[in-house]
Structure 1
Amino acid sequence: MVRANGAVSLRELARVVQTSEVTVRRDVRALEAEGLLDRRHGGAVLPGGFTRESGFPQKSLSATAEKTAIADLAASLVEEGEAIVVGAGTTTQELARRLARVPGLTVVTNSLLVAQALAHANRVEVVMTGGTLRGSNYALVGSGAEQSLQGLRVSRAFLSGSGLTAERGLSTSNMLSASVDRALVQAAAEVVVLADHTKLGADTMFQTVPTDVITRLVTDEPPVHDDRAITELQALADQGVQIAVASTGAPSAGSPQSPPAPPGDTDTSPGRPARRDVPLPGQRRTRGGAGPGPQRLNPAGGLEPGAGAGAGAVERSTRMADLRRR
């Protein structure tokens, strides 16, 4: 599976071979010892994966359920009449398919796949950058793409990448792609990163978005035993990144069922997926709406005074602590 896809998550492996993630993790360690693959947080890649970039066909087969859940949640952040930029990637392509239902939307993109997904959306305007086509991910790159973004201003940028760490932020394996992504970020008031748990803790060659520029991370819940991914999420939260965790709808193989979402923590609006926003310290930006204000965690994982009220707020504040204990 790793040879075919370039990368694979432990959750996918457990589902395909119908065993527990504990068993899969043990076997992956054995395969790594033989030099057949490299372990990554929550998954495995071909040896030398630090500099290697999988092509679109391989990426499209990796973490498919997680990408779908992330795209559903990310789409719920977009409002009618907004102007946004959407970068290249398989997760952003999934997002674009859902954005076709948002009326009055303007989407600026350098991705042919994102544009294709929105091509028949009557109430969505698509603006494409110039540039040179990079065939491996169907994206426009180079000076033409970067120059076409100069002077642009939109509300949000939605980006994905090859890896995400609290130390370096979002990164990718290709220099040209990284350069265009940086230009996309410069055009946006807020930056939303879409990254499944297999990318948490992965570090690739070219930084695209520093951690202090990332407004929000939309991700899926890491497997129970993926301590590194959970630790990375906490580190990102400690640096002020708002974290929204999308549910894939089922517990991973060999894992206990996750507890139900606490009161007030689920958006039940028509057409919007359930989501859990992990409370975090030092939020830099907030969105308007009803409910308690920004939640802050003290070093012990509790709710700081004045950070919210009610049982729902207290329960939300312990979400990251629950992940760490698991």
Structure 2
Amino acid sequence: MLPIERRKEIAQIIKKEKAVRVNQLSEQFDVTEETVRRDLEKLENEGILKRTYGGAVLDNLVSDDLPYTDREKVNMDQKRLIAKYASQLVDEGETIFIDASTSALEVIKQVDPRIHITVITNSLNAIHQLNQYSHINLIGVGGNLNDQTFSFEGPMTARFIDHYYADKIFFSVKGISKERGLMDSRESLAELKSHMIANSKEVILVIDASKFNRSALIRIIETGAVDTVITEFSLDKSWKSYFDNQGVRVIIAK
């Protein structure tokens, strides 16, 4: 198969699956992983995808509000690795906010079952999945149900959130940049996260490498409002300096 034909097939795969892994493509096309990385680099230059650690995602994922069933497939290995580190920050008896992100849900799923906590969320999927955990006291906030994200949104949801105060919030975003801070795709999502952040003692951002240097429609908060960032992204000097200047602790999941 010619390289141009292989790249065309890779582009078709990522448009269908939303994300790809280097090792899987290497086996599928019977080429080296280095060859796959060069293919992904060319496709990234064409604006088709965004390379991540060990793979790539669709380039429009940051701006698109994907259905939850699609988001569950994107970068889950990285999200589980990040969650492994983040879950260790949860202490006995704490009250935790989580947003409707798959990253935040993974954190709670990995909390030691001997630790009893209260979780407050607007995510219908999180309510469904976490209901089986006996060590979690689960509080769901209502409102208008978004059938794409399986989450409750709107003014009523924000009012529900304002009735509570949490020890920590774990959340994710569509993009983070040094120029604009933390961003999301829709105003309603950004507003709810702002309410959760304002009502939390400690703010923890769980974010995979695909979200760095990306922009989205709505700015949520400045990066300096975050206490801790947990990511698998290997930060370069400029990002390390940026977080240091913002007073943000960074934990690299390895």
> 1:33: Cα distance to partner?
5.0
On the 8 A contact 2:41/2:51 being kept in 1, the answer is: no
AA aligned opposite 2:22: L
> 1:198: Cα distance to partner?
1.4
Deviations 1:200-253 (A, max 9, x none): 11111112232010110111143xxxx7x6643542233211111112xxxxxx
Query: Does residue 1:110 correspond to 2:110, yes or no?
Result: no
SS in 1 for 2:162: coil
The 3 A distance-change label for structure 1 pair 16 and 27 is closer
Aligned twin of 1:39: 50
> 1:115: Cα distance to partner?
1.7
Aligned twin of 1:77: 89
- Within a 5 Å distance, the mapping from 1:288-299 to structure 2 comes to none
More helix by share: 2
More strand by share: 2
Aligned twin of 1:159: 171
Moved more, 126-135 or 39-48: 39-48
The 3 A distance-change label for structure 1 pair 21 and 141 is farther
Aligned twin of 1:17: 26
Deviations 1:251-282 (A, max 9, x none): xxxxxxxxxxxxxxxxxxxxxxxxxxxxxxxx
Aligned twin of 1:6: 18
The 3 A distance-change label for structure 1 pair 156 and 33 is closer
On the 8 A contact 1:99/1:118 being kept in 2, the answer is: no
> 1:14: Cα distance to partner?
4.1
Moved more, 58-67 or 234-243: 234-243
The 3 A distance-change label for structure 1 pair 128 and 100 is farther
SS in 1 for 2:133: coil
In structure 1, distance between residues paired with 2:187 and 2:243:
24
Aligned twin of 1:236: 243
On the 8 A contact 1:100/1:117 being kept in 2, the answer is: no
**How many equivalent residue pairs?**
238
In structure 1, distance between residues paired with 2:151 and 2:208:
21
- Within a 5 Å distance, the mapping from 1:1-326 to structure 2 comes to 1-8=13-20, 12-18=21-27, 22-32=34-44, 34=46, 37-39=48-50, 44-46=56-58, 48-49=60-61, 51-99=63-111, 101-222=113-234, 231-247=238-254
> 1:31: Cα distance to partner?
2.6
> 1:44: Cα distance to partner?
4.6
In structure 2, distance between residues paired with 1:123 and 1:15:
37
TM-score with structure 2 length normalisation?
Answer: 0.82
Moved more, 126-135 or 235-244: 235-244
SS in 1 for 2:77: helix
RMSD of the alignment, in Å?
A: 2.5
The 3 A distance-change label for structure 1 pair 136 and 74 is same
In structure 2, distance between residues paired with 1:175 and 1:211:
18
> 1:49: Cα distance to partner?
4.8
The 3 A distance-change label for structure 1 pair 15 and 144 is same
TM-score with structure 1 length normalisation?
Answer: 0.66
The 3 A distance-change label for structure 1 pair 102 and 156 is farther
- Percent identical among aligned pairs is 25
On the 8 A contact 1:165/1:232 being kept in 2, the answer is: no
AA aligned opposite 2:18: G
The 3 A distance-change label for structure 1 pair 135 and 233 is farther
